[in-house]
Amino acid sequence: MHLVKVARAAEGEEFNPPGPADFEFPPIFGDGTFFTKPMLIVVLGSLAIAVLFYLAARRAALVPAKAQFMGESVYGFVRNGIVGDSIGRAGRPFVPLLTTMFVFIAVLNIAGVIPVLQLPATSKIAIPLFLALISWGVFNYVGIRRHGFVGYFKNMMFPPGLPKWIYILLAPLEFFSTVIIRPITLTLRLTLNMFAGHLVLLLTVLGGEYLLVDKGGVYAVMSVVPFGLAIILTFFEAFVQVLQAYVFVLLTALYIAGALADDH
Amino acid sequence: MEGNLNMVGYGLAAIGPGVGVGLIFAAYINGVARQPEARGVLQGIALLGFALVEALAIIGIGLAFVL
């Protein structure tokens, strides 16, 4: 299986810095780009989530055991920490969706620091794009169902209590930012955070490997620096990966709250 | 020397969001120092502001690779 790219800088003395090409993988089976390493991570991650939540919910008891407690604390975090603060009680129906989103994104991100996998599947734009489209569909649907089609856009584009002439500027701006910019920034924020984080890790590890293996001598001693950085940055990346999952879900919750609100 | 001028451009473009993120967390620390019990509320707002500002830097790195 071609899970890991090998023999990058083997030829020549030059150091090849990592680039976007490091995110393209050969198919594991079949041909084309259908089943590559990110796809494998998505499948494994989904299975892991399903098993974990099954174990957590299997013997639900009044006094929770370890597995149930873990599942409940994740759910409770999304319900109280994200939805409770942003939407309030009206947000209860969205908690299952947001919890699923949070766990899915967090697990796919964390794959970036798990040995052997070591690739955040969300660094491929298709996955965040799909999640952002779900989020976009949900908050628009919720808003239209709450206020009606005309009412929703009137609420969004014409917030009351402003001088008339300002709506010429405000209405297209609000429409643009809500309907078009929101899904784009959701997608790009998650994708490129993971992309940049993975690139930095690759740079430190490949740089250290270059100094140690290809250069040797005095340079081999200096390879301690990039390798040490790689370890520190791995922990930092783990933090960023969970934070980005939190941010994605928090923004989705805020968008839903905005769509539900009576005035802007 | 080889390389891509885009990366220098990205370095320059990252100054703005860097200052912005610094300001946000400075304000957050100030707020918590003045009123420690408001930490929970402030944390969500600070992280939200951080995410919105950071989007600029992130779009920058995307453009640096794409353009």
CB A78 within 8 A of CB A94: no
Nearest chain B Cα distance for residue A189, angstroms:
6
Residue of B41, B56, B65 best to disrupt the A interface, most CBs of A under 10 A: B65
End-to-end CA distance of chain A: give it in Å, rounded: 54
**Mean pLDDT score of chain A:** 87
- The interface pTM score, or ipTM, of the predicted complex is 0.82
- Once rounded to an integer, what is the mean pLDDT over residues A181-194? 92
- Once rounded to an integer, what is the mean pLDDT over residues A186-207? 91
Helices (H), B1-67: 5-13, 15-34, 39-66
Whole-angstrom Cα distance, residue A236 to residue A240? 6
Say whether B61 and A254 touch across the interface (CB within 8 A): no
Residue of B42, B61, B63 best to disrupt the A interface, most CBs of A under 10 A: B61
Residue A158 to residues A24, A183, B18, Cα–Cα distance (Å): 45, 21, 34
Query: For A86-108, how does the pLDDT look when each residue is reduced to its tens digit (9 = 90+)?
Result: 888 888 999 999 999 999 999 99
Q: Does A185 touch chain B (CB under 8 A)?
A: yes
CB A109 within 8 A of CB A242: yes
Q: Six-digit token pair at B35?
A: 């009123």
Q: Six-digit token pair at A210?
A: 């270059």
B65 contacts on A by Cβ (under 8 Å): 19-20
Residue A12: its pLDDT value, please?
55
DSSP-derived letter for residue A33 is T
Q: Six-digit token pair at A57?
A: 């919910």
- Once rounded to an integer, what is the mean pLDDT over residues A53-63? 83
Nearest Cα residue to A125 out of A64, A174, A190, A201? A190
Q: Which residue of A has its CA nearest to B60?
A: A192
Higher pLDDT, B31 or A67: B31
Residues 194-233 of A with CB under 8 A from B: 195-196
- Once rounded to an integer, what is the mean pLDDT over residues A117-130? 92
Q: Does A242 touch chain B (CB under 8 A)?
A: no
Residue A68 to residues A44, A53, A99, A101, Cα–Cα distance (Å): 22, 8, 15, 19
